[in-house]
Structure formats: structure tokens, C-alpha cells
Structure 1
Amino acid sequence: MKASELRAKSGEELRKELESLLRAQFGMRMQLATQQLGNTSQLKKMRRDIARVRTVMKEKSAK
């Protein structure tokens, strides 16, 4: 997910995106805890996507 794609979305769409990413991250953390997650690099990608969404939300609220 690119920041330019996120900037094109509305505030409500960003909130929904953030919520779905946080839910997916929680699921991945549970899989990691139970040793079911095979590709641990997905957690890093998820964390960065969440940071991108939050950054764009902050940019929009500052305007």
C-alpha cells in the first residue's frame, strides 16, 4: 500500500483501513504466539502499513 493511494482516500475510508489492519495485526500476533505464522516478515510489513495510514491521517487532520 502506497502513501499516495492513502492520500486519495477520505477520512472515513482511512479509519476503516486502519481498523482492518489492526485486526489483521492482532491475528498475526496470535499466530506468532502459537507458532503458526510461517512468514514473520509479514508482521513488519503490517506495522509499516499501519504507520503509513496513521501518518496520512495526521497530515489530513493538520490541514
Structure 2
Amino acid sequence: MKAIELRDKEIHDLNTELHSLLRAYFVLRMQLATQQLTNNAKIKLIKKDIARVKTVITQKMKNHDN
């Protein structure tokens, strides 16, 4: 997911997206721990998406306060 797409969303939608990404990250970590994960690159992509969503949420909250 690109940051441009995220900036168009509302904070509530971003929180929902963050929640789903955190769930996906948890599932991937469990698959890694049980050696069921076949594509390790997915973990890195999910972590980057989580960081993007958190960044956009922070930016929106900062702009909302002004």
C-alpha cells in the first residue's frame, strides 16, 4: 500500500487498516515460529506497511490538532 492511498483515508479507516495489518503480522510470526512460512519477505512488507499507516495516522493527528 502506498502512502498516497493512505493519506486519502480517514483516521477511522486507517485504524482499521492498522488492526488488520497487525493481525496479519501476528499470523506470519506464528507461521515463522512453527516453520510453516514459505515466503519470509512477507514479514518485511507487512512491517513496512504498518510503519506507513502509523506515520500517516500521526501526521493526520498532528494536522487535526492545529
Question: After TM superposition, is the score higher than 0.5?
Answer: yes
Paired residues, number: 63
Residue identity over aligned pairs, in percent, reads: 56
**Cα RMSD between the aligned structures?**
0.3
Is structure 2 residue 45 aligned with structure 1 residue 45? yes
1:56 positional shift: 0.1
CA distance, structure 2, for counterparts of residue 26 and residue 61 of structure 1 = 26
CA distance, structure 1, for counterparts of residue 41 and residue 11 of structure 2 = 28
CA distance, structure 2, for counterparts of residue 10 and residue 57 of structure 1 = 9
**Correspondence list, 1:17-28, <5 A:** 17-28=17-28
Segments ≥4 residues shifted beyond 3 Å: none
1:17 positional shift: 0.1
5+ residue gaps in structure 2?
A: none
Spell out, residue by residue over 1:21-54, the C-alpha distance to the aligned partner (whole angstroms, 9 max, x if none): 0000000000000000000000000000000000
Match of 1:56? 56
TM-score (normalised: structure 1): 0.99
5+ residue gaps in structure 1?
A: none
1:57 positional shift: 0.2
TM-score (normalised: structure 2): 0.95
